[in-house]
Chains A and B, each alone.
Chain A
């Protein structure tokens, strides 16, 4: 081979290489998604269905408010649980596994920057969480819709001597107010945002942890402390109260280091009919984006020169 030819190889390589390629990120993200899907994670839908359909038959002699509330509570509880588990366990399962199995060698020895690998994994898992939440929401809204109509029919039947149109209208209004409402979608969105931040946490942890189990445990601890964040903040910035300096210092550290996941708990309010302002919703979305950006950055810093 002539000198010219080899020299041009170097130039080719420099020219052809893209510093950041969305298609590579997508390839990794989609691969992650496929992998999880083929691990049959969607079997959880069976459990979810049993849960929310079961919730319908448990408490039949209750008031309709209670019945619909329990249905919503069980569904949202299950959604929160599944979404958080998927994001944490999914991340913890896949990245350390890639390292342990040395699958990562074959990926990183392709022209793939490590940052793209991390972002791809994160997107893949978040995508899986999104798809599973969409599936759960479909089922949930269908059951809720079916239930609210069922309850309406029962209540109308219970009125002696037949209900007047005004009574029917009134019943419909009060029952449907506890049923399918667009605000509930925002509740699902908040569950998603929280799970996305949890995935970010697990991503950071998995870049320095050496095992799946360790990643899961550490991420779960961060997840729980993240929920008690507001308590820490109350200590740190008390309203009129003064706590010990040490306590405030510790609480401050907790608040600075751990994510605030309590922020995303808006379902409890939505279920009692509170409506959330668009500004607030966008704020939550923005903060999630902020968290994910910072967490990707930190994982990259930790991962960029990691000896594999």
Chain B
């Protein structure tokens, strides 16, 4: 009896592993001591990680409340990126369901989980400022109820536009090294708010990033050219763009060419209105004058003095200047055509020019050219009769 009891007790004992409590205490002391040695090192390491951009997400941030418990545990357990991707998918699903409130919420989670991933911000801005905005615009157009339509137009559309803009701006702050998000901000200002001034500022910011493609700077130039009162700066940017051959294809320089002409006309016209003939003449004749000084003088003669002959003489000077853009040849010929005696000669020259460089003819130029052609044809017919 006794033996059996002893045997049983023994097996329990060996299973429960009797170890000395002194050793347990010693190991706790070592563990504690180790803790005190490593904690300063680890805190420093955490600081370095923060500095190098590895601790952008703090679990105490507000987005934590929007995460499910499992996602939260996963996020601190080293699956933050994966969970951000899962919320990305959920946002995509919500987008397909046109559930914009959820889209906004999920995009908020992805961006706060991984704020340095530019694409999260990009998609957030895109979904709200473009997709949600367009959805409510369509809805307001088709709504039968006037109140509903008004609500869509005046509450929902501006709301999502603002949200989208906010995402893009925050993203630009988080990922300043990439051109993308400042470009998105600029796009929103340009396409949605129709504000070339703010758009140009953001395009400029975007174009300064290392990875910016050349069209961002062109966008900056075109938007600047549309800002009132900034013509001088715009002309500076546009002309430098116009002269630098490294940019782009013919089609793309077309806007630059148009801006160039418009800005030069604008500058010439304002100078022509502000300054006297003497001042303009002396500026044109001084050393180091450019074709633009002649253009100002020509504009004055044409618009203020209404002296076509003198204007033509000045424009001939401009055309002879190699630096002057080609559109001055067109301007000269158009002016020449105003005198009926020179009409035919001017028409032939314009025809040649149009064949050679169609890109310098604007829409109104083509209309005038057609008019000239018809009137010439009519007079020819008359003469033949």
Contact = CB atoms under 8 A, between A and B. Distances in A.
Interface string B61-95: 00000000000010011111110110011001000
A11 interface: no
B27 A76 contact: no
Contacts of B211: 174
A70 B85 contact: yes
Given A210-B15, A227-B76, A307-B14, A277 B30 contact: no
A306 B89 CA distance: 52
A288 to B, nearest CB: 11
B35 A269 contact: no
A305 B81 CA distance: 45
A264 interface: yes
A224 B73 contact: yes
Given A77-B82, A80-B79, A287 B41 contact: yes
Contacts of A273: 116
Contacts of A74: 82, 85
Using C-beta atoms within 8 Å of the partner chain, give the interface range for chain B.
35 or more
Interface in A264-293: 264-269, 271-277, 279-280, 283-284, 287, 290-291
B53 A269 contact: yes
Nearest to A65: B119
Interface stretch (B43-51, B226-234, B355-363): B43-51
Nearest to B41: A287
B20 interface: yes
B173 interface: no
Contacts of B27: 298, 301-302
A82 B39 CA distance: 28
Best-buried of A194, A208, A263, A301 by chain B (most CB within 10 Å): A301
A263 B45 contact: yes
Interface stretch (A23-31, A117-125, A254-262): A254-262
Contacts of A65: 117, 119
B76 A301 contact: no
B48 A264 contact: no
Interface string B82-114: 101100110010000000000000000000001
Interface stretch (A2-10, A40-48, A103-111, A231-239): A231-239
A280 B116 CA distance: 20
Interface residue SS majority, chain A: helix
A271 B78 contact: no
B274 interface: no
B52 A280 contact: yes
A230 B46 contact: yes
Contact of A73 (B24, B48, B82): B82
A268 B49 CA distance: 12
Contacts of B31: 256-257, 294, 298
Contacts of B32: 256-257
B78 to A, nearest CB: 4
Contacts of A294: 30-31, 34
Contacts of A287: 38, 41-42, 45
B18 interface: yes
Best-buried of B18, B27, B52, B79 by chain A (most CB within 10 Å): B27
A237 B43 contact: yes
14 contacts: A66-B119, A69-B88, A231-B76, A256-B31, A256-B36, A261-B78, A268-B54, A280-B49, A287-B45, A298-B31, A302-B24, A302-B27, A304-B23, A307-B14
Given A279-B48, A302-B24, A305-B23, 16 more contacts: A69-B85, A80-B78, A194-B78, A208-B17, A208-B24, A210-B16, A224-B73, A227-B78, A228-B76, A262-B76, A266-B54, A268-B54, A268-B114, A280-B49, A283-B45, A305-B19
What 3 pairs between A and B have smallest CB-CB spacing?
A256-B35, A269-B54, A73-B82
